Amino acid sequence: MIFRLDERLLFPEPDLAEPDGLLAVGGDLSTHRLLLAYQNGIFPWYSDDSPILWYSPHERFVLYPSELKVSKSMRQILRSGKFRVTADTCFNEVIKACSAVPREGQDGTWITDDMMAAYNKLHTEGYAHSVEVWQNQELVGGIYGVQVGHVFCGESMFSRVSNASKTALIHLCQSKQFELIDCQVYTGHLESMGARMISREQYMAVLQSGLDK
């Protein structure tokens, strides 16, 4: 059953989501609603031509930083000094770059203007963060997402040159700030770096543990 949200600040129980993870429709992208969603394992994912859709997958595709796999060639790239990595220096540029990257199987972007405005506000208030990768003073890769306790909910990443987005993800994993990186959507690229599926119950246990602390 798909629930329709109104002005009240609440969500249905996440385990009531449809098989594809769709839980609710409607509501808004206010900071309070977004934070409530992430704290309950729910995230928005929709396009310009649809209402706001809220998902809570029954399985989560995640990466434990301790399970990160870095290939020998990638380790050489990291040691070479080819890239410079920063954090939270140009959040808006990262989210704009992510919105412009063509995605296989998608005609457009799910990072709408409203989404960009909402996540920029989350960043301003200290909840959303970005990692930037530079080459010769040019922004060539990055990732952005929302921090919930000890979980980093990765929203999107981009790469304008080979291995730039990998560099951003590796930096995030090696920062020692997070117990878990929520990748949300399966890709073979992330699986090759150690990401795997876990149950919603496992995911919520890690999420809640961080929030309790």
Coil, strand or helix at 184: coil
Q: Which residues pair with 32 in a beta bridge?
A: none
Q: Are residues 65 and 42 in the same domain?
A: no
Q: Are residues 104 and 164 in the same domain?
A: yes
Q: Which residues pair with 59 in a beta bridge?
A: 199
pLDDT digits (tens, 9 = 90+) for 47-98: 777 899 999 999 999 999 999 999 999 999 999 999 999 999 999 999 999 9
pTM over 0.85: yes
CATH number at residue 23: 3.30.70.3550
**Span 18-34, mean pLDDT?**
96
Q: Are residues 79 and 17 in the same domain?
A: no
Residue 197 in tokens: 């599926």
CB 168 within 8 A of CB 176: no
Question: What CA–CA distance (Å, rounded) separates 119 from 44?
Answer: 11
pLDDT digits (tens, 9 = 90+) for 129-167: 999 999 999 999 999 999 999 999 999 999 999 999 999
Q: By residue range, what is the domain housing residue 178?
A: 61-212
List, as one string, the DSSP characters of 132-168: EEEETTEEEEEEEEEEETTEEEEEEEEESSTTHHHHH
- The pLDDT value recorded for residue 194 is 97
Q: Are residues 84 and 181 in the same domain?
A: yes
> What mean pLDDT value characterizes the chain?
93
Identity of the residue numbered 7: E
pLDDT digits (tens, 9 = 90+) for 86-108: 999 999 999 999 998 765 544 44
Question: What CA–CA distance (Å, rounded) separates 14 from 103?
Answer: 27
Q: Are residues 33 and 95 in the same domain?
A: no
Q: Are residues 52 and 154 in the same domain?
A: no
Number of domains comprising the chain:
2
- The pLDDT value recorded for residue 106 is 47
